[in-house]
Chain A
Amino acid sequence: MYEFEFEKPSTIADAVKALGEEDAQALGGGQTLIPTLKQRLAMPSTLVSLSGIAEMRGVCPDGDAIAIGGATTHAEVEAATADSYPALSALAGQIGDPAVRNRGTIGGSLANNDPSACYPAAALASGATIVTNAREIAADDYFQGLFTTALDEGEIITNVRMPVPQAAHYEKFVQPASRFALVGVFVARFADGVRVAVTGASEEGVFRWSEAEAALAGNFDPAAIDGLSVDAEGMIGDLHGTKAYRAHLVGVITKRAVAAAA
């Protein structure tokens, strides 16, 4: 790692201020950032830890939604949403491994927007609102491609508001080495429709599969997916699976997610 300064503010305001310094970077749980720093692929002047900001931690009900502090760890989300949003709880319990889940945070994951991460699928399928120190961003506007989001420089995800669907499930088919999603599909049925978000598959990162959503809106059954397919062009092709394989998996995994949710 390159040398950097370390700061651990206790309020959002102080964190924002610290992040105003040139080349300062926010540190969530560090489960992706620290390995990246070890490879010397990032060169922050200062790392601003968000782990000391009490108001950014924890899960609480918020009307028909749940509000999750941006610095809440995966393990905390798993425990806190087991009853209120079981599909989200199960997703959180499948990220990384137990030790990673004790450090990694929802805000860190969403800010990083790895194309194979799990949380982006949950946020997009739930129609989440990404709350930052400056504004609120709808999930549909937030994810903007590989490792790219609507966040501005120095902007912090303070909270994530997840509407709780009537039925939901996250189905993850893992890449054998990293155990990230080779394809992960989050299906969420709301009173006014179905949202299907796919992670791991696309070169553009997480996306909504609108054809599946339309088909499932009328018939929330795995059979509704029959005959639908995503275009293999635009899928990720690598040593773990071709574009065609990923496109095929999107259909299979979506059906499984629907079956489990229905």
Chain B
Amino acid sequence: MPKDSGIGASPKRREDVRFLTGTGNYTDDINLNGQAYVHFLRSDVAHGRLVSVDTSDAAAMPGVVRIFTGADFEGVGGLPCGWQVTDRFGEVMQEPAHPVLAQGKVRHVGDPIAAVVADTPEQARDAAEAIAVEMEELPAVINMKEAVKDGATKVHDDLTSNLCYDWGFVEENREAVDKAIQDAAHVTTLELVNNRLVANPMEPRVAVGDFNRATGESTLYTTSQNPHVIRLLMGAFVLGIPEHKLRVVAPDVGGGFGSKIFHYAEEAFCTFAAKALNRAVKWTSSRSEAFMSDAHGRDHVTKIELALDADNNFTALRTETYANMGAYLSTFAPSVPTWLHGTLMAGNYKTPLIYVNVKAVFTNTVAVDAYRGAGRPEATYQLERVIDKAARELGVDPIALRRQNFITEFPYATPVAVEYDTGDYVATMDKLEEIADLSGFAARRAASEAKGKLRGLGVNCYIEACGIAPSNLVGQLGARAGLYESATVRVNATGGIVVMTGSHSHGQGHETSFPQVIADMIGIPEDMVEIEHGDTANTPMGMGTYGSRSLAVGGSAMVRATEKIIAKAKKIAAHILEASDADIELKDGQFTVAGTDKSLAWGDVTLAAYVPHNYPLEDIEPGLEETAFYDPANFTYPSGAYACEVEVDPDTGKVTIESFAAADDFGNIVNPMIVDGQVHGGIGQGIGQALLEGCVYDEDGQLLSASFMDYAMPRADDLPFYKVDHSCQTPCTHNPLGVKGCGEAGAIGTPPAVVNAVVDALQSAGKDVTHIDMPLSPARVWAAMNG
């Protein structure tokens, strides 16, 4: 029976009421008295030397408050990178400066050259058009393999080359892997592109900077997934504002998918300008501006080789990847193709030897950073594609080949430095075969063929690593941040609870699911618990929401803080009930003395905490408020198996998704409804990557897919209903909730299933097609079919 409250129940989301009635409070809904508006003059060339930027005419235009250029930011810090990767020779990565406004050079279309602050947005834009920019255009560096050749034009003149780093993992395995591949009975090789994507949360980015001269406090309202991280990065590294004079607020945020993790120039600008002008400054991105200023995702070019022995056991895996960094290092960019990618290359399989090489490259394109899945989709895609190709080369069933090579014993230490605590890949595959009705595929294929369509089935597995931690380990790996999470649980006198969390909800439903956990622990109704998040002024320092970490890390912090609350409340109850703490039990909101009928209600104890008349003041302080910081011992490892069936129109190449099924193991589940929704969304984005989305630059560095007119977003009629199941549950062993995280799974597990299915469909018609690069647009599929 489904539960109706607490962990495992699916209460309706409380945040929905404001979103459904138009009363949410998104950043663009915030308007401060007297605010001015900024418009950024952005480069329309990919690479050029700024000879002069003449703002004199523009400055005289109506409504202009002030025009800022790169010169105004000399002496101000640049945008910092939060992760330093060490290459395979032991050298640290090349790390270029990233000025708030371009200094000396522009390095991608969209690089901000000047910022016009005016009384109205249109006045700011009018004036921006009147700025005279003299530019010496330089050759654009676009193709990564060309970019790292000797003599290539350099994106950053002060670096030795366009190579950010050449990373090897695990470097000590390199020779053994080479030898295993040389000696293998069979080697399958695949070269592929993981297409560049634009996250495109429906809410474009917005920043409103404010300054209070009386207190000297700066405030930034921003569309962020992690306001504390922005406060730290911007305050400490860019503007030199200490945290106690800087408040960052991320109110309702309309989706992030990674793209709102990073600290962006526009945030720093608005904060800086508000102080300089003593006036609030607002920036609202248009969608067109978002395409050239939000960090992009993916963009890997990979060669992968899988070696098998004569019995089809995987013996070694070797990959070489070129990872696009774009023109600058976005906040966590270096970590994505390395620690979030190389560590996942074992997948669900007991391949004993793995070597991953990644060359990160600077190009004259927008910075590339984490996008839903971040590194893990790239790892999964290449691995699951090469396994599929191997199965076809060997003439074996792709599912059987996977099953044969599954890891079945846990904990399992992979050859790429991580240890999977739990999992059951056989169970998720069994579940998938059931919910996707794979035994009925042949009949469905025949039905499709009868109407002139090719039908294909694609199956794959995935493993993901969520809740990156522990902090001391990630520090060794180059992270310049800790990766704990925090929670303060404040119990009020009449028993209601406010939880202040460092996690941030921008669609995940924390306001509903987090109270389920606390209510369950105490035994009170969920509506007695409220969640506050998104404002550095009233939440403890936290790292925010990304990487499917909120429940596993933030939820664990909440549990730890609540445990402290319960322990203290038991002491209070013990005092009032004249019993020993050890004998006090808490159940259904009642404290009882074990083995007696003596009891106290939750509210009696909380009231006593704040009206401490009959209270052990000599032992404990009044009040009932506790904070915990939780730093996980390990990653969590969700996993699953996905199946996609497609139809291909052989005349046009158009692919339609006929069915999609996902069997996931997320460990324990707090709110099944929300988990379903997270998986649905991930699958939608995964199908988008596989069939529709592609961010394309031409050789001059012009962005061809610069709006929704050319960047194909998945629409309702591109997608089917999905079958999702998360009944296979192997709880995480090292966090108190036994949860693993579910936010990115769909985006990780989906693309290979779709591509495997299309290749299967084409091969069923005798086409010699072994691979097509995403997105599998009709034009690309048709071209592949017609050689």
Contacts and interface: CB of A to CB of B under 8 A. Distances in A.
B705 to A, nearest CB: 7
A154 interface: no
Contact of B712 (A39, A176, A245, A252): A176
A177 B778 contact: no
B779 A39 contact: no
A158 to B, nearest CB: 30
A1 B286 CA distance: 13
Contacts of B286: 38
Interface stretch (A20-28, A64-72, A200-208, A236-244): A236-244
A103 interface: no
Contacts of A239: 694, 696, 704-705, 710
Interface residues of B, number: 26
> What DSSP secondary structure best describes chain A's contact surface?
loop
B652 A252 contact: yes
A173 interface: yes
A83 interface: no
A84 B778 CA distance: 34
B203 to A, nearest CB: 18
A248 B781 CA distance: 13
Contacts, number: 49
Interface in B761-786: 777-779, 782-783
Nearest to A255: B651
B643 interface: no
Interface string B547-580: 0000000000000000000000000000000000
A192 interface: no
A124 interface: no
A248 B782 contact: yes
Contacts of B489: none
Interface string B212-226: 000000000000000
Nearest to B709: A178
A39 B288 contact: yes
> What DSSP secondary structure best describes chain B's contact surface?
loop
A104 to B, nearest CB: 15
A249 interface: yes
A3 interface: yes
B713 interface: yes
B692 interface: yes
Contacts of A176: 691-692, 712, 777-778
B412 interface: no
A245 B783 CA distance: 8
Contact of B779 (A1, A2, A241): A241
B71 to A, nearest CB: 27
Pick the most buried of A1, A40, A238, A245: most chain B CB atoms within 10 A of its CB: A245
A3 B705 contact: no
A241 B704 CA distance: 13
Pick the most buried of A38, A177, A248: most chain B CB atoms within 10 A of its CB: A177
Contacts of B288: 39
Interface of B: 122, 125-126, 129, 286, 288, 651-652, 654, 691-692, 694, 696, 704-705, 708-713, 777-779, 782-783
Given A38-B286, A240-B710, A241-B777, 8 more contacts: A40-B125, A173-B652, A176-B778, A177-B692, A239-B704, A242-B779, A248-B782, A252-B651
7 contacts: A3-B122, A176-B777, A176-B778, A177-B709, A182-B778, A238-B704, A248-B782
Complex A-B, nearest 8 residue pairs according to Cβ-Cβ distance, in ascending order: A177-B712, A241-B779, A176-B712, A178-B709, A245-B779, A252-B651, A177-B710, A239-B696
